Amino acid sequence: MLTTEVVTRTPRPVRTALAAGLGFVLAVAGCGTAGAPSSAPVISVVTGNWALAQIASEVGGSHATVVDVVPAGANPRTAPLTTASAATVRAAAVVVIVGGGYQPTLEQAATSASHVVALDPAYGAAADGPWLVPGAMSKLAAALAAAMTAANPEARATYSNGVDDVTAEMGSLSADFQSSLSDCARKVIVTPDSQWAAMSSRFGLVDRSIGALSTPDAAQVRAAAVAVRAARATTLFSEPWVPDATILAAASSTGTKIKTLDTLAGTPAGGWPKGATYTRLMENDLAMLTSALQCSQIGQN
């Protein structure tokens, strides 16, 4: 698997991911607490997607403990749900899922949870990476606040303030994507699967998948090379957790570069760089896109 290249754009508020227990507990202290009594309970929120965990943590503030049951280094889509993890899901006050069959075992365990929140399917099918659309995350934040408030009414103010924070942050991020991708020499990104399709359709791009195969045959490599040339691509994108043999073969036969777009679905085995947040990592991906597509707004915010 190729290594993610880190490019820093606009600094954003830092959230902290701590390895703990069954997965990753995201603790945010002192955020979104204005108006909420300090004696209000702290509820458990569980998910299996790192990006969703970040939003849940920001909404929940000091009145939610967010657990990602997928351990670092595991494929978030296929990682097995252990007996202990399943029990954690069932006992959670709120479970946050991608939905649409993206993580079947997690979704099955979540049927026993008190409150389940899923991404709005209007932003794209689960396989198309709707969590990579800032607007979808804003809407998720509102749904999360409603579920958290139902589970913990005393902390209503915290959750309301958290939604305001997420909405402002996602609005800024969405505007950044819109302006940066509005004037590009190319409009097609070439990837191994469709996880950037939802984002692409929202911002005027086309995500062309050439196949996530472990051992592509000669005909598949030729077809991939044809697609690369048709897109006039000078850069191909690999993704974590996805076989990159087709991308590597196509790059070799067409003389194109390869960079990594991180879908932010899970934590890499070595952990994220210090200060990594959903917004910062999305800005990093945006920098990769604007460079590859030769956008006139590159470097501007």
Q: Where does CATH 3.40.50.1980 sit in the chain?
A: 16-178, 181-293
Q: Does the pLDDT value for residue 24 go beyond 50? A: no
Q: Does the pLDDT value for residue 53 go beyond 60? A: yes
Give the rounded percent of residues in the chain with a pLDDT score beyond 70: 86
Contact of 26 with 44, CB cutoff 8 Å: no
Interval 190-249: pLDDT, tens: 999 999 999 999 999 999 999 999 999 999 999 999 999 999 999 999 999 999 999 999
User: Whole-angstrom Cα distance, residue 221 to residue 249?
Assistant: 6
Helices 156-180 and 278-293 pack at an angle, to 10 degrees, of: 10
The Cβ of residue 186 has, within 10 Å, a number of other Cβ atoms equal to 18
Whole-model pTM above 0.95? no
Strand partners for 200:
none
Q: Does the pLDDT value for residue 28 go beyond 70? A: no
User: Whole-angstrom Cα distance, residue 95 to residue 221?
Assistant: 41
Q: Does the pLDDT value for residue 29 go beyond 50? A: no
Interval 268-277: pLDDT, tens: 999 998 899 9
CATH 3.40.718.10 given to domain 181-293: no
Helix (H) or strand (E) holding 25: strand 23-27
* DSSP symbols for 65-78: EEEE-SPTTS-TTT
CA angle 123, 128, 130 (to 5 degrees): 40
CA angle 69, 70, 73 (to 5 degrees): 150
Strand partners for 95:
46, 116
Contact of 208 with 176, CB cutoff 8 Å: no
Contact of 259 with 288, CB cutoff 8 Å: yes
Domain 16-178 adopts which CATH fold? Rossmann fold (3.40.50)
pLDDT band (50, 70, 90) for residue 296:
confident
